[in-house]
Structure 1
């Protein structure tokens, strides 16, 4: 069984992933307050800062998921979170999600953070499959996931109801053998 209680620090050229804490909440608030970020992630829920502090303060004790803060190396600023969750033990698989504050998008931070946590999931946690869903109105995220080695599996039609409109979700995944064969490296930067 993977050791999700161990919360590593993973270092790349652009970002450092480290255990997320309650003290990161002020930097992460834009993830939950920005209307466009909520739309792109399909988040209907409004969170109070106190609830977020409780949530992020409890992440270190979780033994079935890995929540890491994304820290921009150049500035030392927390710019998002990267998460392996929904651990499916019998099938050695997890879901993945990432969220960046609005002004951190488009600079390669999310792609590198994705590669770091996915690589850790395969190499250190022994996962076989990591999956995600991305909404049809978020093509930038879809491209970033492809760059990180994810492949499209199918479409969940009408999976999200957003402001009266049904939106499809694309299911994507990457498998350990693909990753080991250089799946992310062959897709490009």
Structure 2
């Protein structure tokens, strides 16, 4: 479903298919302590593993990995993964090194526009940790609806945290898009 690996251009960001040239940016992203906390990532990543990962993204037809660039610099990634073709659904995840500049909102808008205009997807979901209020606010603003909670889904620094499940459905995204144009 994601064999097309487009470059998507907005006002502030450009989304490019992840390739080997993004390995250093990805390594910096996944090594950033605040990004790790916000994404709940306990894993450590090695440079060679990041290079191999980036080099194989173009071959994956069940996911879409896009580097987020602003001013020609790598600032994060947005991904559609966990594709469920039978139910026309997938997951969205995003990670940014430079939050609060609108890059994430624009990247998600571009990604959802591509997903709902060029594929038969009906549902895009995500999980966000309850303590990430900024991200939850952005997701709601973009049309995601809270569906529930996964209680104590993450243990971080000895404390338990809930994950909030959210999704946006094609008909709601289309109605929202029509009111914005």
Q: Helix, strand or coil for the counterpart of 1:13?
A: coil
- How far 1:58 moved relative to its partner? 0.1
**Are 1:82 and 1:98, in contact at CA under 8 Å, matched by a contact in 2?**
yes
The residue aligned with 1:60 is 58
Q: Can you give the 5+ residue segments of structure 1 that lack an aligned partner in the other structure? A: none
The residue aligned with 1:160 is 154
- Out of 29, 32, 35, the position equivalent to 2:33 is 35
**Are 1:10 and 1:116, in contact at CA under 8 Å, matched by a contact in 2?**
yes
- Out of 81, 88, 93, the position equivalent to 1:85 is 81
- Out of 85, 95, 100, the position equivalent to 1:106 is 100
Asked whether 1:136 is paired with 2:118, we answer no
**Are 1:149 and 1:183, in contact at CA under 8 Å, matched by a contact in 2?**
no
Q: Can you give the 5+ residue segments of structure 2 that lack an aligned partner in the other structure? A: none
The residue aligned with 1:5 is 3
What is the TM-score with the length of structure 2 in the denominator? 0.95
Count of aligned pairs: 180
CA RMSD of superposed structures (Å) = 1.3
**Are 2:27 and 2:45, in contact at CA under 8 Å, matched by a contact in 1?**
no
Q: Hey, what's the Cα distance between the residues in 2 that align with 1:56 and 1:116? A: 21
The residue aligned with 2:175 is 181
1:154-173 deviations in whole A, cap 9, x for unaligned? 11110111121110000000
**Are 1:115 and 1:184, in contact at CA under 8 Å, matched by a contact in 2?**
no
Q: Hey, what's the Cα distance between the residues in 1 that align with 2:119 and 2:93? A: 17
Asked whether 1:50 is paired with 2:52, we answer no
**Are 1:149 and 1:185, in contact at CA under 8 Å, matched by a contact in 2?**
no
Q: Hey, what's the Cα distance between the residues in 1 that align with 2:178 and 2:95? A: 20
- How far 1:30 moved relative to its partner? 2.4
1:97-119 deviations in whole A, cap 9, x for unaligned? 01111xx1100000000010011
Q: Hey, what's the Cα distance between the residues in 2 that align with 1:184 and 1:173? A: 19
Q: Hey, what's the Cα distance between the residues in 1 that align with 2:176 and 2:100? A: 23
What is the TM-score with the length of structure 1 in the denominator? 0.92
Q: Hey, what's the Cα distance between the residues in 1 that align with 2:141 and 2:63? A: 24
